[in-house]
C-alpha cells in the first residue's frame, strides 16, 4: 500500500502498520511533515500470515517491511527514510531514522526477542536519528546504542474527536463535559492477555450495578477465544447498542458487550459516549488508546504497568484514586465520585500531545535534521 505521488520525495515512511495505533501514528507523522512543507510517501508492509511465536511474528513483519521498502526505493529517491518501529528497521535495505514506541530490549524479554535484540542494538547504533514516542521509550533502548544528539522525542499527536465529528455532520459529537454519556465504561482489548482484559472483566463483574454496561473494543472473536474468553466472543454477534438506548440483555449478561474492531470514527464516537476508560495492562508500550480516551473526556482507570506508559503519570496527576491494583475500588470511585474538573485538567495535561505542538516539533526540529 502506498500513499503519496510518484517520483522523488523528501521523506519516505516505511510503515509497519501491524496495529491500529501504529497506523494512526504514521498517518499523523505524515500529516505533520506535509504541513511543514515536505513531500512525503508512505509505504506499508502487507500483513503476513499469522505464526505462533513473537520471534517468528517479528521475522515475518520485518521481511514484509524490507520487501515493501526495497520495492519503493527502487522507484523513488527519497532524501530521508523513517522506519516506523524497530521491527520495520531490522532488515532495512537502506539506513535511516527509526521511530519507535518501545524497543524489543524492553518488550521482547527472553526467548521472545532472542534474535531481535542484538540486531536491534546494531540498527539503533546505525540510525541517522532515533525518534522515540516518549522519554520512557528512549530509556528502554540499550545504553550501548549511544543515542546522544541523535535522539528526538516525538509524541504521537492526539486530538479530541468532537470537532471532526461535527464537521462530518454526526449527531452524537458531544465533547468532554457535554451531552449524555450513556455507556458506563469502555476498554480496549486487542491482544487480550497483554492488555489484561481478564483482569478488567473480573473487576467489572464484581462491582457493576444494574444498568451499567462495559463495552470491549478492538478484540476479535478469534483473539478472545484464544484468551479463554469464548463467552465474550459470542457477544460479537449481537448488534451494537445505539446511543441512549437501554440494553435489556445487560442484567442477565453481566453488562459486558464486545464490539470487535470498529472503524476509527465509530471507535472515537464510543469514547465520547463513555464515562470511564478502564484498563489493566500487563505491560504498556505507550498507550494511544488511553490518551485518546482522555482527549474525548473519559476518566482513566488503570493499574500501574511496566513500560513507557505515557498516560500513566497523567492519570496519577489527574486523580491518584483511579490508578491502582485495586481495580474494583478505582472503578467505583470513577463512576460514583468523579473529580468535577477532571476533563478540563486532562485537556491541559494533553497539550504537549496536541497536533499543534507536534507540528511545531516536526517543523522546527525534525525536518531540518532529517534533510540536513
Q: What is the pLDDT of residues 315-349, one digit of tens each?
A: 999 999 999 999 999 999 999 999 999 999 999 99
Question: pLDDT at residue 223 above 80?
Answer: no
**Which of 108-117, 250-259, 338-347 is modeled with the greatest confidence?**
338-347
Q: Are the C-beta atoms of residues 355 and 159 closer than 8 Å to each other?
A: yes
Question: pLDDT at residue 250 above 50?
Answer: no
Q: How far apart are CA 189 and CA 217, in angstroms?
A: 6
131 in helix, strand or coil?
strand
Question: pLDDT at residue 237 above 90?
Answer: no
* Cell of residue 227, nine digits: 484468551
Does the domain formed by 162-352 have CATH 3.40.50.2000? yes
Span 146-204, pLDDT tens digits: 777 899 999 999 999 988 878 777 655 444 444 589 999 999 988 888 999 999 999 99
Nearest alpha carbon to residue 257 among 222, 223, 219 = 219
Q: Is 117 left (phi over 0), alpha (psi -120 to 50) or beta?
A: alpha
Q: Where in the chain is the domain with CATH 3.40.50.2000?
A: 2-157+354-370, 162-352
Give the pTM.
0.88
Write the CATH number of the domain with boundaries 2-157+354-370.
Answer: 3.40.50.2000
Amino acid at each position: 500500500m502506498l500513499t503519496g505521488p510518484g517520483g522523488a520525495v523528501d521523506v519516505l515512511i516505511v510503515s509497519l502498520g501491524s496495529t491500529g495505533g501504529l497506523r494512526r501514528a504514521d498517518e499523523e507523522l505524515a500529516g505533520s511533515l506535509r504541513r511543514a512543507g515536505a513531500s512525503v510517501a508512505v509505504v506499508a508492509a502487507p500483513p503476513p500470515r499469522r505464526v505462533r511465536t513473537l520471534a517468528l511474528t517479528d521475522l515475518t513483519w520485518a521481511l514484509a517491511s524490507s520487501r515493501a521498502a526495497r520495492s519503493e526505493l527502487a522507484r523513488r529517491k527519497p532524501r530521508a527514510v523513517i522506519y516506523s518501529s524497530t521491527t520495520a528497521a531490522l532488515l532495512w535495505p537502506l539506513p535511516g531514522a527509526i521511530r519507535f514506541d518501545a524497543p524489543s530490549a524492553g518488550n521482547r524479554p527472553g526467548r521472545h526477542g532472542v534474535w531481535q535484540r542484538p540486531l536491534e542494538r546494531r540498527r539503533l547504533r546505525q540510525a541517522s536519528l532515533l525518534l522515540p514516542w516518549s522519554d520512557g521509550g528512549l530509556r528502554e533502548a540499550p545504553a550501548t546504542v549511544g543515542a546522544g544528539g541523535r535522539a528526538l522525542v516525538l509524541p504521537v499527536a492526539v486530538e479530541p474527536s468532537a470537532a471532526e465529528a461535527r464537521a462530518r455532520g454526526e449527531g452524537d459529537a458531544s465533547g468532554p463535559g457535554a451531552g449524555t454519556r450513556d455507556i458506563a465504561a469502555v476498554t480496549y482489548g486487542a491482544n487480550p492477555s497483554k492488555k489484561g482484559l481478564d483482569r478488567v472483566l473480573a473487576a467489572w463483574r464484581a462491582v457493576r450495578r444494574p444498568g451499567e454496561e462495559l463495552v470491549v473494543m478492538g478484540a476479535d472473536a478469534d483473539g478472545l477465544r484464544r484468551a479463554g474468553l469464548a463467552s465474550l466472543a459470542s457477544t460479537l454477534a449481537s448488534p451494537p447498542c445505539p446511543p441512549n438506548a437501554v440494553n435489556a440483555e445487560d442484567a442477565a449478561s453481566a453488562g459486558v458487550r464486545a464490539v470487535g474492531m470498529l472503524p476509527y470514527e465509530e471507535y472515537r464516537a464510543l469514547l465520547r459516549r463513555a464515562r470511564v476508560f478502564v484498563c489493566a495492562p500487563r505491560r504498556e508500550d505507550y498507550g494511544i488508546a488511553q490518551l485518546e480516551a482522555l482527549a474525548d473526556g473519559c476518566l482513566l482507570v488503570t493499574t500501574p504497568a511496566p513500560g513507557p506508559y505515557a498516560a500513566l503519570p497523567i492519570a496519577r496527576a489527574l486523580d491518584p484514586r483511579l490508578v491502582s491494583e485495586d481495580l474494583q475500588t478505582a472503578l467505583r470511585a470513577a463512576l460514583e465520585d468523579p473529580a468535577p474538573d477532571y476533563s478540563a485538567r486532562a485537556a491541559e495535561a494533553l497539550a504537549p500531545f496536541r497536533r499543534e505542538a507536534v507540528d511545531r516539533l516536526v517543523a522546527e526540529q525534525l525536518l531540518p535534521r532529517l534533510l540536513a
